[in-house]
Structure 1
Amino acid sequence: MEKARKDRKDMRYTIPDYYRQFRCAAGQCEDTCCAGWQIQIDERSLGRYARLKGRAGRKLRRSIRWRQRIFRQKEGKRCVFLNQDNLCDMYTELGEKSLCRTCRLYPRHIEEFEGIREITLSLSCPVVARLLMNREEPAAFPACEKDGEEEYEEFDLLLYSALADAREVILDILQNRAVPAQAREQRMLALADEVEKNYMEGALFSCQELFDAPGRAEAAGKPGGAENNEARMGRRFCFMKKMFAFLDTLELLREDWKSCLDETRALLYSQADAGYAATCLEFGAWMKRYMPMWEIQSEQILVYFISVYFCGAVYDGRISAKAKLAAVSRMIIEEMLMARWIKNEKTLDTEDIVETVYRYAREVEHSDKNVNRLESLMEKVPSNLTSYVSGFVPPCTV
């Protein structure tokens, strides 16, 4: 490891190629980011707000809970500055520069590593979810360099290099549409498992052999034996029933999220596993006929979670867990869509997918506690089990 230092050096920036297509819907947004959760204020903005003079300064200071470092809320958990037109009064009266870091950046999401800043757009924003769910082209992540001055804590450059290389290979695997979707997901999980194994054994240099021939990892992680769809979906029924019970124990950010979980459990898991299997087959056949785009949308979800979070394992070593959470996140969204399909008298549209995706992302991505608990759970889940249960809705089967 290299010790902390402060240097002037080139900073490498990566952004998804759809980044500049984003345009905030502002007052037209169907689920504004200025309501439903607490907005944290950064230290620098708090200092500016404390020094602001005049009537605007007095109003602003009355609108802050200083101990919690958050803006006050009014009825409906709406930010005190959010007016009836779903526009921000602070922005209107004081300009964009008056906004705190959270409001200025969202839905931009930033991950920083030594000499690298990765900027993405969060799926928790309805506009971003719609942008990604309507995109047919594989996502790309171009890079550029700029001068910068950064301060770094201890950083394992060797591990990060291995993770970055692994991520590149995984993204290639996930976006290879000549291979069935379930097989791609299994290869992702197997490769992540092998990289973590090498890391734990102090053999990161051996990862290059996996990257040169990723099929070796697939063979090492491939589940043995063959099962029919009914047996496989029986496994999925047990696994997902437990997952939704676990989701109910996580920190609740939006009150209506609990009703979504309750609804999914009631519609899918109150029946016997045989009834669930029949529902999966019928739902899968319907999706394949009427929403063939779901396979590409599933790919986009996996690519998103891997591109944003996989290299974060440089700080906690949870390499396999991050890959498994990407797969399980896709599965959870698929289960919630199946429940909504039942509720909607066996029909869905793209807006149902967009809403389910961004609501799931809001509950998971915007709580460090939730992400940590989910990754901790994923460490206990065998990757071969995740492979067995991940792709049994027909659009995703081999």
Structure 2
Amino acid sequence: MQITKPTFYNEFSCIAGSCPDTCCAGWQIMIDQNSLKKYRHCKGAFRNRLLNDIDWKEHSFRQYQKRCAFLNEDNLCDIYSEAGKDMLCDTCRKYPRHIEEFEGLRELSLSLSCPEAARIFLSHKEKIIFRTVEKETPEETYDDFDYFLFTALMDTRDYLFSVIQDRSVPCALRRRKLLACGHDFQLCLDQNELFQWETIRTRHQNSAFGDSFQKKIFKWKDAEKSSDNLRKSIWKTIIPQMEILRSGWHDYLRDTLTPLYTSCDTEQQYQNVCLEFETFYPDWKIQEEQLLLYWIYTYFCGAIYDEQIFAKVKMAVVCTFMIHELAVGTWLLQQKQFSFPDLVSICYRFSRELEHSDQNLNKLEELLDWEEIFSLGNLLEI
């Protein structure tokens, strides 16, 4: 078995009561079978509470006002304090460590939805590196696992990493290269011509970010549509379709985005505001790179199970775009003040609403795949 993880993976340690938020609210915490057995056979004074505050039918902890029944007033876990850390279920013990599973490979990451994990991830200014090691484990087989497609996905993701981390070109051009590659790779798969992808990837590598590539991008862009309206339409298309995990999420979005969109009547005004923000907060250029890398590393190779390659590239671009909009809106709301903790807060709040809900992840991918607003031409225009 191969295990892949970013070099900063082992830096994480839960900061417990010092955390600005809690991971025990706003989402349903599922319990693994081994933990259910431990809880069912628990002895002592804590037994009755376990029996009463677990939904045995759903295999989850009960919630009260969207907070785990075992989350106390100090935002600490009563299972941990009363019964010990060995009684934590897999979800609580492992979070924010995230695992993507493939035949013969496990990919580990830290979820952006954890404030401390987000802080660690976003604070890295050097290029992020992933290490792979061999670990002796029993052989596993997956039914109908397409090794040819998976190898193509892995090789392509390595190329996308190199695109994302090429700091010699503006990030806007890197995003466009990601979209072009994702589009071409999806087309190969849809036309049952996956054998052509090495040739196409080589063509992308050779064209790099030069004039021929930029001319091709210009032809693809839908110049007749207003970028301002496209940006607003992204929010209007996605947000109403999403399950709300925390009360006040829509209010937060409205309050944060209103200063941005009310202050920009034209595309030029919008570009000026963004330039002013990025001049005030120059770290965004690197953090944008890290965010693009996060979404691609975490989700791209999952296309082995659903073949939605282009949708996963779009997800990286669109989620990073939305975080950027929230950052600029926050900067305006705070009278043109912004700091690293502000970005950490935006990222973990955004991630919790998206990544703590399979329904939201699946719905977003569906929208990215089918809605015209997310066409290649529109996203290149934005």
TM over 0.5: yes
- Runs of 4+ aligned residues of structure 1 deviating over 4 Å after TM superposition are 216-221
5+ residue gaps, structure 2, are none
TM-score, length basis structure 1: 0.87
Could you tell me how far 1:155 is from its partner in structure 2? 0.9
Could you tell me how far 1:80 is from its partner in structure 2? 2.3
Question: Structure 2: how far apart are the matches of 1:154 and 1:67?
Answer: 31
* 2:14 aligned with 1:21: no
Secondary structure of 1:41's partner? Answer: coil
Query: Do 2:31 and 2:91's aligned partners in 1 also have CA atoms closer than 8 Å?
Result: yes
**Structure 2 counterpart of 1:63, from 40, 50, 53:** 53
Could you tell me how far 1:193 is from its partner in structure 2? 1.2
In the TM superposition, what whole-angstrom CA distance separates every residue of 1:305-348 from its partner, at most 9, and x where no partner exists? 00010000111111011001100101111111222122111221
For 1:101, the equivalent position in structure 2 comes to 90
**Structure 2 counterpart of 1:262, from 254, 258, 265:** 254
Larger deviation: 108-117 or 147-156?
147-156
Secondary structure of 1:252's partner? Answer: coil
Query: Do 1:82 and 1:88's aligned partners in 2 also have CA atoms closer than 8 Å?
Result: yes
- Pair 1:360–1:283, CA change in 2 (3 A): same
Question: Structure 2: how far apart are the matches of 1:384 and 1:173?
Answer: 20
Secondary structure of 1:309's partner? Answer: helix
Query: Do 1:190 and 1:220's aligned partners in 2 also have CA atoms closer than 8 Å?
Result: no
Superposed, 1:109-124 pairs within 5 Å as 109-124=98-113
- Pair 1:226–1:148, CA change in 2 (3 A): closer
Larger deviation: 150-159 or 279-288?
279-288
In the TM superposition, what whole-angstrom CA distance separates every residue of 1:235-283 from its partner, at most 9, and x where no partner exists? 3321221221221321111112121222245334457xx6253552342
5+ residue gaps, structure 1, are 1-10, 390-398
Question: Structure 2: how far apart are the matches of 1:83 and 1:267?
Answer: 36
Q: What amino acid is aligned across from residue 179 of structure 1 in structure 2?
A: V
For 2:226, the equivalent position in structure 1 comes to 235
Secondary structure of 2:130's partner? Answer: coil
Query: Do 2:113 and 2:347's aligned partners in 1 also have CA atoms closer than 8 Å?
Result: yes
Secondary structure of 1:110's partner? Answer: strand
Question: Structure 2: how far apart are the matches of 1:356 and 1:96?
Answer: 30
Could you tell me how far 1:82 is from its partner in structure 2? 2.1
In the TM superposition, what whole-angstrom CA distance separates every residue of 1:202-237 from its partner, at most 9, and x where no partner exists? 22222112333424676578322599xxx79x7332
Larger deviation: 369-378 or 260-269?
260-269
Larger deviation: 156-165 or 339-348?
339-348
Secondary structure of 2:108's partner? Answer: strand
For 2:134, the equivalent position in structure 1 comes to 145
Q: What amino acid is aligned across from residue 75 of structure 2 in structure 1?
A: N
TM-score, length basis structure 2: 0.91
Question: Structure 1: how far apart are the matches of 2:309 and 2:219?
Answer: 26
Q: What amino acid is aligned across from residue 162 of structure 2 in structure 1?
A: D
Question: Structure 2: how far apart are the matches of 1:321 and 1:38?
Answer: 26
* 2:105 aligned with 1:91: no
Q: What amino acid is aligned across from residue 231 of structure 2 in structure 1?
A: M
Larger deviation: 79-88 or 132-141?
79-88
Larger deviation: 379-388 or 261-270?
261-270
Secondary structure of 1:266's partner? Answer: helix
- Root-mean-square deviation (CA), in Å? 2.2
For 2:339, the equivalent position in structure 1 comes to 349
Query: Do 1:287 and 1:294's aligned partners in 2 also have CA atoms closer than 8 Å?
Result: no
Superposed, 1:291-370 pairs within 5 Å as 291-370=281-360
Question: Structure 1: how far apart are the matches of 2:46 and 2:136?
Answer: 37
Question: Structure 1: how far apart are the matches of 2:206 and 2:245?
Answer: 42
Could you tell me how far 1:45 is from its partner in structure 2? 1.6
Superposed, 1:237-256 pairs within 5 Å as 237-246=228-237, 247-256=239-248
Question: Structure 2: how far apart are the matches of 1:292 and 1:310?
Answer: 28
Query: Do 1:107 and 1:124's aligned partners in 2 also have CA atoms closer than 8 Å?
Result: yes
Q: What amino acid is aligned across from residue 293 of structure 1 in structure 2?
A: D
Query: Do 2:220 and 2:377's aligned partners in 1 also have CA atoms closer than 8 Å?
Result: no
Could you tell me how far 1:362 is from its partner in structure 2? 0.8
Query: Do 1:244 and 1:265's aligned partners in 2 also have CA atoms closer than 8 Å?
Result: no
**Structure 2 counterpart of 1:382, from 353, 375, 378:** 375
Identity %: 39
Secondary structure of 2:6's partner? Answer: coil
Query: Do 1:248 and 1:258's aligned partners in 2 also have CA atoms closer than 8 Å?
Result: no
